[in-house]
Amino acid sequence: MRHRALRGSRARSGLSLLEMSAVFVFLGVLMLVMSGTLVGALKVQQSAANVFHSLAVQKQLANEFRGDVGQALAAPDKLDNESAGPDCVILRMDQDRHVIYRWKDSRVERTEVKDSRKSVRRLPAGDYWVKVAFARKGNERPMVSLRLIESRPPSDVKHIVEIAAALGGDRR
């Protein structure tokens, strides 16, 4: 009689195959959701880092350009064999010193000409899909601007950042 009582009250010793399968399916779905979330977070982080880099590059270029335009006395149409246009702007700083900004090979090239010496520096303008255009406006208080035109493929949407400064800054 004692033997029967133990047999009838026997406790379950483990999980069935169906229960184990359900646990593994749940863990698989959970891992899939977590992996998707992680990949999405990494893409957002990479995009934020790219935007931060673009803003830092634009800020550096804007500060340099506005400083030069603010110190310039004039923006002549020509200097030696250089001509001002959408790809080039010439700034006369004083009688024998000029600064030339030129869009060349996907970079902004800043050339400082003093007497007969030239000093060339290449300034980054952003990523490879950025184009640059220069413009001069106004006669009495001329404005010189540098436009960064960003057109990322495959879209034809253009994002334009215009950096402008008054010629001569606060001196006029």
Query: Mean pLDDT across the chain, nearest whole number?
Result: 83
Give CA torsion, residues 143, 109, 64, 129, to 10 deg. Answer: 80
DSSP 13-60: -S--HHHHHHHHHHHHHHHHHHHHHHHHHHHHHHHHHHHHHHHHHHHH
Rounded Cα distance between 82 and 121, Å, is 17
pLDDT tens per residue across span 100-139: 998 887 788 898 988 888 888 888 777 667 888 888 887 7
Give pTM, 2 decimals.
0.70
Whether the pLDDT of residue 32 is over 90: the answer is yes
For 58-85, what is the mean pLDDT?
85
Sheet holding 107-114, edge to edge: 88-94, 97-104, 107-114, 117-123
Instruction: Please report, for residues 47, 74, 94, 169, 170, the alpha-carbon distance to residue 141 in angstroms, rounded to integers and kept in the order given.
Output: 40, 11, 18, 10, 11
**Cβ atoms of 100 and 111 closer than 8 Å:** yes
